[in-house]
Homo-oligomer: A and B are copies of this chain.
Amino acid sequence: MAGMNHLRENGIVHRDIKPGNIMRLVGEEGQSIYKLSDFGAARELDDDEKFVSVYGTEEYLHPDMYERAVLRKPQQKAFGVTVDLWSIGVTLYHAATGSLPFIPFGGPRRNKEIMYRITTEKPAGAISGTQKQENGPLEWSYSLPITCRLSMGLQNQLVPILANILEVEQDKCWGFDQFFAETSDILQRTVIHVFSLPQAVLHHVYIHAHNTIAIFLEAVYEQTNVTPKHQEYLFEGHPCVLEPSLSAQHIAHTAASSPLTLFSMSSDTPKGLAFRDPALDVPKFVPKVDLQADYSTAKGVLGAGYQALWLARVLLDGQALMLRGLHWVLEVLQDTCQQTLEVTRTALLYLSSSLGTERLSSGAEMPDVQELKEATELRSRLQTLSEVLSKCSHNVTETQRSLSCLGEELLKNRNQSHEDNRSAQKIQCCLDKMHFIYKQFKKSRMRPGLSYNEEQIHKLDKVNFSHLAKRLLQVFQEECVQTYQVSLVTHGKRMRQVQRAQNHLHLIAHSVATCNSEARGAQESLNKIFDQLLLDRASKQGAEVSPQPMAPHPGPDPKDLVFHMQELCNDMKLLAFDLQDNNRLIERLHRVPSAPDV
Contact = CB atoms under 8 A, between A and B. Distances in A.
A253 B414 contact: yes
Given A331-B238, A565-B564, A594-B596, A537 B542 contact: no
Given A29-B426, A571-B572, A586-B582, A528 B357 contact: yes
A521 B350 CA distance: 10
Instruction: Specify which of A338, A530, A546, A566 lies most central, judged by the most chain B CB atoms within 10 Å of its CB.
Output: A530
Nearest to A568: B568
Nearest to A239: B331
A369 B558 contact: no
Interface in A406-427: 411, 414-415, 418, 422, 425-426
Contacts of A29: 422, 425-426, 429
A370 B545 CA distance: 11
Contacts of A523: 350, 353-354
A374 B536 CA distance: 15
Contact of A542 (B369, B425, B553): B369
User: In the assembly, how many copies of this chain are there?
Assistant: 2
Contacts of A124: none
Nearest to A253: B415
B30 A425 contact: yes
B236 A527 contact: no
A432 to B, nearest CB: 8
A562 interface: yes
Contact of A26 (B338, B354, B429, B490): B429
A539 interface: yes
Contacts of A372: 534, 537-538, 541
Nearest to A494: B583
Contact of A550 (B250, B373, B578): B373
A598 B593 CA distance: 13
A597 interface: yes
Contacts of A375: 530, 534
A519 interface: yes
A233 interface: no
B349 A531 contact: no
Interface stretch (A143-151, A224-232, A271-279, A360-368): A360-368
Instruction: Specify which of A342, A534, A553 lies most central, judged by the most chain B CB atoms within 10 Å of its CB.
Output: A534
A381 interface: yes
Contacts of A411: 250, 252
A28 B429 contact: yes
A575 interface: yes
Contacts of A528: 357
A33 interface: no
A351 B524 CA distance: 10
Interface stretch (A9-17, A65-73, A444-452, A481-489): A481-489
B558 A384 contact: yes
Q: Determine the interface band of chain A, counting residues with CB < 8 A from chain B.
A: 35 or more
A527 to B, nearest CB: 6
A210 interface: no
A359 interface: yes
A388 interface: yes
Nearest to A373: B550
Interface string A10-45: 000000000000000011111100000000000000
Instruction: Specify which of A353, A415, A482, A535 lies most central, judged by the most chain B CB atoms within 10 Å of its CB.
Output: A353
A335 interface: yes
Contacts of A520: 349-350, 352-353
A288 interface: no
Contact of A565 (B478, B561, B592): B561
Contacts of A575: 572, 575-576, 579
A308 to B, nearest CB: 15
A474 interface: no
A234 to B, nearest CB: 9
A521 to B, nearest CB: 8
A579 B339 CA distance: 28
A569 interface: yes
A387 interface: yes
Interface string A547-586: 1011001011011011011101101100110110011011
A160 interface: no
B368 A541 contact: yes
Contact of A561 (B346, B359, B558): B558
12 contacts: A30-B432, A237-B237, A253-B418, A350-B523, A353-B519, A360-B534, A367-B539, A369-B541, A372-B534, A482-B594, A561-B565, A568-B572
Given A353-B519, A555-B558, A571-B572, 7 more contacts: A30-B425, A30-B429, A349-B516, A350-B350, A356-B527, A357-B528, A368-B549
- Shortest Cβ-Cβ A-B pairs, 6 listed: A237-B237, A350-B350, A353-B523, A561-B561, A367-B542, A593-B593
